[in-house]
Structure 1
Amino acid sequence: MGWPSGYGRRVLAEVDSTNAEAARLAPGLVGPEWILGLRQTAARGRRGRGWVMPAGNFAATLVVRLDEPPDRVALRSFVAALALYDGLEAVTGTAAGLALKWPNDVLMNHGKVAGILLEGLGQGALAVGIGVNLVAAPEAAEVESGAVLPVSVLAETGVRVTPEALLEALAVAWASHEERLVTYGFGPIREAWLARAARLGEEITARTGRETLTGTFETVDEAGRLVLKTPKGRVAIAAADVFF
Structure 2
Amino acid sequence: MSDPATTWPEGVARHVLPRSSSTNSDALRLAPQIEGKAWIITHDQFQGRGRRGRDWEMPKGNFAGSLALRPDGEPGQAALYSFVAALALADAIAAVAGPSARLALKWPNDVLLNGGKVAGILLESSGQAGRVTALAVGIGVNLFAAPPADKSAAFAPVSIREETGITVSPEDFLDQLAPAFAEWESRLLSEGFEPIRKAFLARAARLGEIITARTGTAEITGRFEGIDASGALILATAAGRQAVPAADVFF
Same fold (TM over 0.5): yes
List gaps (5 residues or longer) in structure 2. 1-5
Structure 2 counterpart SS, 1:84:
helix
Task: Tell me what 1:74 maps to.
Answer: 79
Task: Tell me what 2:57 maps to.
Answer: 52
- Deviation of the 1:44 alpha carbon: 1.0
User: Aligned letter for 2:206?
Assistant: R
- Deviation of the 1:92 alpha carbon: 1.8
- Deviation of the 1:146 alpha carbon: 4.8
- Deviation of the 1:93 alpha carbon: 2.3
Moved more, 22-31 or 203-212: 22-31
Task: Tell me what 1:197 maps to.
Answer: 204
> 1:233 and 2:236 equivalent?
no
Structure 2 counterpart SS, 1:124:
strand
2:13 & 2:153 partners in 1: Cα distance?
38
Aligned residues: CA RMSD: 1.1
> 1:89 and 2:94 equivalent?
yes
Task: Tell me what 1:64 maps to.
Answer: 69
Structure 1 counterpart SS, 2:24:
helix
1:4 & 1:90 partners in 2: Cα distance?
17
Preserved contact between residue 32 and residue 70 of structure 2 (Cα < 8 Å) = no
Task: Tell me what 1:19 maps to.
Answer: 24
Note the 1:47-196 alignment, pairs <5 A. Answer: 47-94=52-99, 96-122=101-127, 124-140=133-149, 143-196=150-203
2:93 & 2:99 partners in 1: Cα distance?
8
Identity of aligned residues (%): 59
User: Aligned letter for 2:242?
Assistant: V
Report the CA distance shift for 1:146/1:26 in structure 2 as closer, same or farther (over 3 A): closer
User: Aligned letter for 1:78?
Assistant: F
Preserved contact between residue 12 and residue 39 of structure 2 (Cα < 8 Å) = yes
1:170 & 1:95 partners in 2: Cα distance?
19
Preserved contact between residue 26 and residue 121 of structure 1 (Cα < 8 Å) = no
Deviations 1:186-208 (A, max 9, x none): 01111100000000011111011
List gaps (5 residues or longer) in structure 1. none
Deviations 1:90-139 (A, max 9, x none): 11222631000000000001100000000013361100000000111122
1:80 & 1:95 partners in 2: Cα distance?
22
1:27 & 1:230 partners in 2: Cα distance?
44
* TM-score, structure 1 as length reference: 0.96
Preserved contact between residue 201 and residue 217 of structure 1 (Cα < 8 Å) = yes
1:15 & 1:120 partners in 2: Cα distance?
18
1:110 & 1:240 partners in 2: Cα distance?
20
2:153 & 2:87 partners in 1: Cα distance?
25
2:245 & 2:28 partners in 1: Cα distance?
25
2:239 & 2:27 partners in 1: Cα distance?
43
* TM-score, structure 2 as length reference: 0.94
2:44 & 2:125 partners in 1: Cα distance?
23
Structure 1 runs (4+) greater than 6 angstroms displaced: none
1:96 & 1:41 partners in 2: Cα distance?
29
